[in-house]
């Protein structure tokens, strides 16, 4: 007997939301959650850290590469790591989902369970969201966080004399993506590279290290989503400083899985696995600067230094090539201007 397949069209919007709400855990900070017009949350600090991210099927994830729960976990991780990078504790996320009417309802519910599971690991919860129809699957997630009375750690505080340190893993997700892209799921198997594939499918940001770094005096912080050099470039530009990365500091576990990266490079005929570490994103490690006199937390590896000047170098030399992912390499300045200055002083829309 053929198994009955229930789609999101069969459930309808309210049925899907009811099914999602039924499977979500509660939290004492959530006063009103999924199922009403809006969520009501407690904000103990009086300030709320907020970030949002858009995930598009075929661009940010592929269903043939990752399970629904993997996709949900990664979608949440991308946002929760941004909260941690501000030195805040993640508290809640809002999830908006759009997809084809014939998308299996159990697949959507598995995505939401993945989001909820990742949130639980970070101390957060799903507070609400929206659903709609679309030709492909789209996930829009807004994450919220609490600073616990501390100042936010921004990209603008790095100073000459600071050290640069990283918590988490670098290069695994980029290498895993390269393996899947070149060989597919069946051809990218093997004990040597399994951890790299898992790193692409389900990254593990060090959420607790963000608030910990803030408590210990981090002067600037960012999550590594676009690539180590690209994201340190954002810190250097915002702080008006120069950052030098030392490659001999990028060869130790657990920061870098050198043996697995070397095996992947051999499989793919790559000349140097270090490129994945320096320019590969999607691991969502945290990179921060600390005063030299301060001792970085135990789970952080010092990888470089901040000096006077501009930009980012590697071993004292300019990096020849891209530092990481860039969505709009040519149009980026225009796009940022339009996003930041959407309205003029009379309230008229500029775009």
Predicted TM-score of the model (pTM) = 0.88
Number of domains in the chain: 2
pLDDT at 348: 47
Inside any domain, residue 158: no
- Smallest Cα–Cα separation from 99: which of 55, 66, 69, 65? 55
**Would you state the structure tokens that stand for residue 82, as one six-digit string?**
């941004």
Confidence of residue 328 (pLDDT cuts 50, 70, 90): very low
- The residues pairing with 61 across neighbouring beta strands, listed in sequence order, are 57
Residue 3 class from Cβ within 10 Å (0-12 exposed, 13-18 middle, 19+ buried)? exposed
CA dihedral 261, 314, 300, 203 (to 10 degrees): -40
Of 114, 146, 178, the last residue of a domain is 146
Residue 345 pLDDT exceeds 50 = no
326 falls in which pLDDT band (50, 70, 90)? low
| Last residue of one domain, picked from the residues 146, 171, 187 | 146
Which of 194-203, 248-257, 313-322 is the least confident region?
313-322
1 belongs to a structural domain: no
56: its two tokens: 């598009």
Q: What is the average per-residue pLDDT within 31-46?
A: 85
Are 178 and 254 found together in one domain?
A: yes
Q: 348: which residues sit within 8 A by CB, 6+ positions away? A: none
Mark whether 273 and 240 lie in a shared domain.
yes
171 lies in some domain = yes
Q: How far apart are CA 309 and CA 337, in angstroms?
A: 25
182 and 315 housed in the same domain: yes
Report whether pLDDT(312) > 70. yes
Q: Are the beta carbons of 158 and 241 closer than 8 angstroms? A: yes
CA-based nearest residue to 324, from 293, 291, 285? 285
Nearest Cα residue to 86 out of 126, 144, 43: 144
> Are 291 and 323 part of one and the same domain?
yes
Does any domain span residue 141? yes
Residue at 346 is within a domain: no
pLDDT at 70: 96
Establish if 342 belongs to a structural domain: no
> Which pLDDT value is given to residue 26?
61
**What's the whole-number mean pLDDT along residues 177-197?**
85
The rounded mean pLDDT for the chain is 88
- Domain identity same for 205 and 232: yes
| 22 and 141 assigned to the same domain | yes
Question: What pLDDT score was predicted for residue 27?
Answer: 64
Do residues 108 and 225 both lie within one domain? no
345 belongs to a structural domain: no
Give me 59's structure tokens: 């661009």
205-221 in b/e form (b: 16+ CB < 10 A) is: bbbbbbbbbbeeebbbb
**48 with 76, same domain?**
yes
pLDDT in tens, 243-283: 999 999 999 889 999 999 999 999 999 889 999 999 998 99
Same domain, yes or no: 213 and 309? yes
Q: How far is Cα 32 from Cα 266, in angstroms, rounded to an integer?
A: 53
- Do 307 and 168 lie in one domain? The reply is yes
Q: How confident is the model at residue 350 (pLDDT cuts 50, 70, 90)?
A: very low
Q: How many CA atoms lie within 13 A of 236 on its CB side?
A: 24
Could you identify the residue written with the tokens 């952080």?
300
Q: Which two tokens stand for residue 68?
A: 């629904």
Name the E strands within the chain.
30-32, 40-41, 49-56, 89-99, 125-133, 138-146, 163-167, 220-224, 242-245, 285-290, 300-307, 311-314, 317-318
Question: Is the separation of the CB atoms in 302 and 247 below 8 Å?
Answer: no
The CATH number covering residue 73 comes to 3.30.1330.10
- Kindly state whether residues 142 and 206 are assigned to the same domain: no
Q: Which domain holds residue 14?
A: 8-146
Residue 180 and residue 305 in one domain: yes
CATH number at residue 297: 3.90.650.10
Residue 199 belongs to what H/E stretch? helix 194-201
Tell which residue, 300, 306, 316, 308, has the closest CA to residue 165: 300
What is the β-pairing status of strands 89-99 and 125-133? parallel
Residue 30 maps to a domain: yes
What is the pLDDT at residue 332? Answer: 53
In the numeric block, the tokens 């775009």 are attached to: 351
Cα–Cα distance for residue pair 70/68, rounded to 1 Å? 5
pLDDT at 351 over 70: no
Q: How many CA atoms lie within 13 A of 248 on its CB side?
A: 2
Q: Which residue among 146, 180, 204 closes a domain?
A: 146
pLDDT tens across 219-238, in order? 999 999 999 999 999 999 99
């Amino acid at each position: 007997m053929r198994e009955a397949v229930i789609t999101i069209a069969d459930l309808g919007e309210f049925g899907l939301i009811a099914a999602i709400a039924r499977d979500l855990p509660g939290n004492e900070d959530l006063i009103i959650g999924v199922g009403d017009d809006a969520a009501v949350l407690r904000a103990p600090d009086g300030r709320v850290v907020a970030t949002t991210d858009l995930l598009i099927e075929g661009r940010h994830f592929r269903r043939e590469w990752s399970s629904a729960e993997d996709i949900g976990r990664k979608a949440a991780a991308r946002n929760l790591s941004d909260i941690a990078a501000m030195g805040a504790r993640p508290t809640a996320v809002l999830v908006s989902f759009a997809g084809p009417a014939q998308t299996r309802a159990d697949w959507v519910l598995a995505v939401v369970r993945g989001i909820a599971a990742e949130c639980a690991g970070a101390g957060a919860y799903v507070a609400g969201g929206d659903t709609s129809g679309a030709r492909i699957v789209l996930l829009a997630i807004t994450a919220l966080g609490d600073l616990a009375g501390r100042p936010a750690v921004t990209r603008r505080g790095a100073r000459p004399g600071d050290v640069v340190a990283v918590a988490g893993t670098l290069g695994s997700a980029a290498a895993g993506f390269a393996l899947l892209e070149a060989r597919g799921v069946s051809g990218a198997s093997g004990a040597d590279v399994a951890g790299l594939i898992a790193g692409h499918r389900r990254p593990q940001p060090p959420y607790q290290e963000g608030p910990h770094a803030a408590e210990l005096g981090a002067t600037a912080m960012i999550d590594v989503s676009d690539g180590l050099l690209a994201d340190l470039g954002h810190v250097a530009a915002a702080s008006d400083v120069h950052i030098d990365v030392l490659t001999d500091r990028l060869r130790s576990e657990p920061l870098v899985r050198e043996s697995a990266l070397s095996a992947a490079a051999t499989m793919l005929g790559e000349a140097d696995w270090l490129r994945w570490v320096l320019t590969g994103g999607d691991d969502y490690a945290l990179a921060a600067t600390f005063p030299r006199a301060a001792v970085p937390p135990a789970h952080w590896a010092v990888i470089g230094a901040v000096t006077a000047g501009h930009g980012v170098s590697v071993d004292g030399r300019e990096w020849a090539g891209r530092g990481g992912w860039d969505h709009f390499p040519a149009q980026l300045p225009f796009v940022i201007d339009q996003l930041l200055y959407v309205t003029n002083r009379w309230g008229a829309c500029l775009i």
